[in-house]
Amino acid sequence: MSAMPLPHLPPAVPRMPQELADSPAFLLGRLGALVKSRAIHEFETIGFSPYHYAVLAVLAEAARQTQAEIADTLKVDRSQLVGLLDSLEERGLVERRRDPNDRRRHTVSLTPDGKAQLGRLRAVVKRVADHLLAPLDAEGRQVPYQLLLRVACHTHTSF
Amino acid sequence: MSAMPLPHLPPAVPRMPQELADSPAFLLGRLGALVKSRAIHEFETIGFSPYHYAVLAVLAEAARQTQAEIADTLKVDRSQLVGLLDSLEERGLVERRRDPNDRRRHTVSLTPDGKAQLGRLRAVVKRVADHLLAPLDAEGRQVPYQLLLRVACHTHTSF
DNA sequence: TATTGTTATACTCTATAACTATA
DNA sequence: TATAGTTATAGAGTATAACAATA
């Protein structure tokens, strides 16, 4: 009952439904998942995760933070941060030190090796971003970032 | 030892690190996760999931597809689709019928109730999209969609 | 033997709940 | 009692593997 099958296209080529392709929300969701999985894969090949990068980035901007502060900044649970810091500390990239004023707290800081590694991880991020934005020309790349930032700031406060 | 604490801002206000806010890849990843969780929540309140909507949307565009075709189109595993179709069929929104030509196959189609429900789910999607794009003015909304689509098409083929 | 739909299993994340040591 | 960090547990989601029916 199928009228006029396409000549040389194999029937197994799955096309995204128009209704979903038309939805900015759907595109954004799928694109976000794609960039995330891509980032995870890229970091994985060198033994890291995007979270590792995020932790190092946070420490580079504000040194000597407590674990609770780091966790809140990244919006991850404190229990999740423990494992991340464990692996970073084992590699000598961060340093946990007891706060003498409140011995419950651990104050975390970046080691020189950690700062160097952060540079390498930044290269990974840049690679992912460049690949992501590849279909856009130079000037076109400025636009989505401004829009993304505006939308991100709004959703950050409204979700 | 903390020099000059800020006057009225509680110290518990977590700020996103500049380095991450500067990264389009990070923003896109987080934004995608946000819109996804928002969509899941919205659908959940009426007893559906974004997957349910996606399945109905696929069937609305090309009726009488086999389960394998639907699964491939949505890029979900065939085993995952089974449960989705089960719940949709229980509610009388889709119909599974054995293909007489190949009795292994199930040909799936939308019922009138399913088509009606699809309309209601579209309203949910629209609500999420409107909320997402709220910070952009009318003309600004056209831009990100074109860009998203371009990027999405590219990544679709290159990931 | 290969394929379709299905069911069962395992694995990864993440969210939550205890637990300790300090305060 | 409350809090910081830690550990343990449980749950959702997904990916993989086995399975029965049919080709």
Q: Find the CB nearest A151 among B31, B38, B61.
A: B31
Q: Find the CB nearest B54 among A20, A151, A159.
A: A20
User: Mapped to the 3 state alphabet, what secondary structure does B15-51 carry?
Assistant: CCCHHHHCCHHHHHHHHHHHHHHHHHHHHHCCCCCHH
Those residues whose C-beta lies under 8 Å from the C-beta of residue A122, and which sit 6 or more positions away, are A53
Q: How far is B159 from B144, CA to CA, in rounded Å?
A: 21
- Minimal CA separation from B28 to chain A, in Å: 5
Neighbours of A60 (CB within 10 A): 17
Locate tokens 């999931």: which residue?
B49
Look up the pTM and report it.
0.86
Q: How far is B40 from B67, CA to CA, in rounded Å?
A: 23
Residue nearest to nucleotide D17 (CA to C1'): B79
- The number of residues making up chain A comes to 159
**Strand, coil or helix: what is B17?**
coil
Q: Which residues of B touch A153 (CB under 8 A)?
A: 135
The whole-number average pLDDT for the span A21-27 is: 86
Strand partners, A65: A108
Q: Which residues of A touch B75 (CB under 8 A)?
A: 14
Asked whether the predicted pLDDT for residue A122 surpasses 90, the reply is yes
Interchain contact B33–A (C-beta under 8 A): yes
B105 CB less than 7 Å from any atom of strand C: yes
State what percent of residues in chain A have pLDDT above 70.
81
Which pLDDT band, with edges at 50, 70 and 90, does B122 fall under? very high
A10 CB less than 7 Å from any atom of strand C: no
| Structural tokens at position A29 | 């969701």
